[in-house]
Structure 1
Amino acid sequence: MKYLCLIFFVACLSAGCKEDKVQEPYKTGMEGQLLPDIVIQMADSVSYFHTAAATAGKPQLLFYYSPTCPYCRAQMRDMINHLEKWDDHQIYVVTNADLASMKKFTDYFKLSQQKGIIYGRDTGSVIAKKYHLMGVPFTATFDENKNLKAAYVGRLNAKSLLSIQ
């Protein structure tokens, strides 16, 4: 009987660890609201990009990460491997970590060679404050009018990533 219970427990545990489910969005209470104006300090440390200046008419994907987070690194790897999926999106890859750590992360993933990605530092921690984040990675999608469609906290598996439109 002990062995039967142990087998049942292991089967239940392994069924919950599968990556075949699409992750449910995190309810921020801000769905439908505009993308906040995030001042992104670029890797050269002197240039800045304002998300408010981004042209509407193109869906937007925001990926907020910590350079030392293994889940962020895994998700970034998956995103890079499926980048063609978001050819029609403006992608922001943003952190509030120090410039040196951000540069290591962006150099490792060769973000400067990727078309359509704006990356840098959220110098005012706007994202963490606006969405009351308690952890990373944080992924948010915005429609072509820059209104929040869905947000996700935690690493998105490949199936969840590919379901983002």
Structure 2
Amino acid sequence: MKHRKIFYFFGWTLFGLIIYFSIGSYIEYSYENRIYNLTLRKPFVTGLEKKLIPSFDIFLVDSTTHINTGEIPEGKPFILLYFSPYCPYCQEQIREIVVAEKELKDIKFYIFTQFSFSEMKDFYYRNRLDTSPEILVGIDKDYFFSAYYKAYSVPFVAVYGRDRRLINAFKGKISIGQIKTIVKE
């Protein structure tokens, strides 16, 4: 009887360890796979690829200046990044852009939201975007971007080439490496 209890104890322990390591390796694989998918996100097909950037206004942080996207000059690739001040993925995307600013010096960033001016301005200073000359932050007051690109989630990243034509659009955060690769093509 005593040997039987020991046998059951070790049998169940061995079974538990097998299950534990099986689930552990599955979770580790899923985590690595998830990271990989974040760094190599598939483009969102908008049907607007290779079209010129549409013309809409972005009101900047100073509350008096606005930029019309139709007037963005040719010759330098740029990114339109639609964000929410409360989105952790948007905050992470923008932090990565700021950290890699020297690597991305040949790319202009137009970062904007549809939230209130005070919320956008708070986000601007909280993330120290005032120190980045290649990053302009503002508001799309007319709600043009989300309707035109069907951008119903944030962050939404639209990558434009030197010729002012859309290369790719992405729903969600993309890696700095992916941004650099797309712009080089």
How many aligned positions are there? 165
Match for 2:109 among 91, 108, 129? 91
Structure 2 gaps, min length 5: 1-14
Q: Does 1:6 align with 2:9?
A: no
Q: Are the structure 2 counterparts of residues 42 and 7 from structure 1 closer, same or farther at C-alpha, using a change threshold of 3 Å?
A: closer
Letter in 1 for 2:113: T
SS at match of 1:46: coil
Taking only aligned residues, the RMSD between alpha carbons, in angstroms, comes to: 1.9
Q: Does 1:55 align with 2:62?
A: no
Match for 1:67 among 79, 85, 88? 85
Taking the aligned partners of 1:75 and 1:55, their CA distance within structure 2 comes to 25
Choose 50-59 or 64-73, whichever is displaced more. 50-59
Taking the aligned partners of 1:145 and 1:100, their CA distance within structure 2 comes to 34
Query: Which residue does the alignment assign to 2:10?
Result: none
Aligned partners of 2:104 and 2:180 also within 8 Å: no
Choose 37-46 or 141-150, whichever is displaced more. 37-46
Shift of 1:128: 0.4
Q: Does 1:15 align with 2:43?
A: no
Q: Are the structure 2 counterparts of residues 111 and 5 from structure 1 closer, same or farther at C-alpha, using a change threshold of 3 Å?
A: closer
Taking the aligned partners of 2:108 and 2:92, their CA distance within structure 1 comes to 21
- How much identity, in percent, do the aligned residues show? 25
Shift of 1:92: 0.5
Aligned partners of 1:65 and 1:136 also within 8 Å: yes
Query: Which residue does the alignment assign to 2:119?
Result: 101
Letter in 2 for 1:6: I
Aligned partners of 2:158 and 2:170 also within 8 Å: yes
Shift of 1:33: 0.8
Shift of 1:107: 0.7
User: Which one has the largest radius of gyration?
Assistant: 2
Letter in 1 for 2:138: G
Matches within 5 A, 1:32-47: 32-47=50-65
Query: Which residue does the alignment assign to 2:151?
Result: 133
* TM-score w.r.t. length of structure 2: 0.80
Choose 135-144 or 155-164, whichever is displaced more. 155-164
* TM-score w.r.t. length of structure 1: 0.89
